[in-house]
Amino acid sequence: MVKRPTINHLLYGLTAVLVTTALILFFSPVAEHSEKNVQLIQAADAGMPLSGPVSYSHAVKAAAPAVVNVNTTKVVTVRSHPFFNDPLFRQFFGDRVINGSQVRKKTENSLGSGVIVSPQGYVLTNHHVISGADSIQVSLKDGRTASAEVIGTDSETDIALLKIDLEELPTIHIGDSGKLEIGDVVLAIGNPFGVGQTVTMGIVSATGRNQLGINTFENFIQTDAAINPGNSGGALIDANGNLIGINTAIFSKSGGSQGIGFAIPTSMARNVMQQLIEHGHTIRGWIGFEGHALTEKLAQSLDLKSFDGVIVTGIVRNSPAHEAGLEPGDIIVAIDGTDIINGRDALLIITAKKPGENITLDVIRDSERLSFTAVTVNRPEKAVESLN
């Protein structure tokens, strides 16, 4: 009778101690401080640098001498004011004077940028910078100037290749744009507004941007480094001074930089440049059809389980697609065994082919899956083929 209450008292006492200890640990600021320390240690262990370099002057010194100004001159025809066609005006001044004043020539100058990519004098720039130019003058940072010869242009990627004849040319190292990651530091070098060579800094905002309606083939690097008129054709470099893009376009409502600029990656520019050097033009496969990506509503109306694929909306007569048996209304779901999600997928696969190569198209026609084989030809300069 004596032992039972003693054991009960011990159990009650032990329970009270445990509860009290738990409450102290739960509400103790020391415990909260300890937990925060653990979180801070985890963040520090992530391996992220706490600060970046204070200067990118080494990158600019390596790349800037190879970035040039591209000055173009174009002679345009300007028609006179419509009032010259007024009968009363003609009667007063005479037809001979009026007709002689109807048309006049005017010289227009424009300014862009370019990048020297080889000691042989090859200069990469944009097609739109030199399009229609009657003469092209390249100015180097060291003060030298030279007339430029157009080796070739590709309007579908907006790349142009020039050549200048000067000795001891500075060149830029071409980097690997495929290794770029969002958040990487980049610098844009060019001649905005004609004020002289200028460097701006930002980061890679996105890669692989497409369907912007700027070019036929789009795989842009997006950056918030300030790009303004005159920067076109200039260099986008990484933090080590390697060329990773050709500055091409800006998204702007005011005409100035809004923090959204686009550059053609070196992976695309290098491929186009090589073809221009070897052939004077680009070589891409073409089979001659027009198509549009399926929408969910259209897929439902056709009783399709998926809305991946491209519906053929037009066929060029006597084209490889026409000869292969493709018809409007066919839905292309795969090309050479690769599933097609949208028109861009189809365009890239077809244009990657060389003329004379076979290409296999899997299509759905009247709920039946069929296969057609076409032989690609060289893509025309103004291809009818449109894939959206």
Catalytic residues: 128, 158, 232
Residue 38 CB neighbour total at 10 angstroms: 8
Task: Supply 32's token pair.
Answer: 């909260």
C-alpha 264/C-alpha 280 separation (Å) is: 20
Helix (H) or strand (E) holding 291: strand 289-293
Q: Are 164 and 180 in contact (CB under 8 A)?
A: no
Say how many C-beta atoms besides its own lie within 10 A of residue 238's C-beta: 23
Cβ atoms 108, 118 nearer than 8 A? no
Calculate the alpha carbon distances from 11 to 6, 97, 151 in Å. 9, 121, 95
SS3 readout for 334-380:
EECCEECCCHHHHHHHHHCCCCCCEEEEEEEECCEEEEEEEECEECC
| Angle in degrees, CA 66, 271, 285, rounded to 5 | 150
Q: What is the DSSP string of 178-215?
A: GG--TT-EEEEEE-GGGS--EEEEEEEEEEEE--SSS-
**Bridge partners, 102 (sequence order):** none
Cβ contact 221:263 at 8 Å: yes
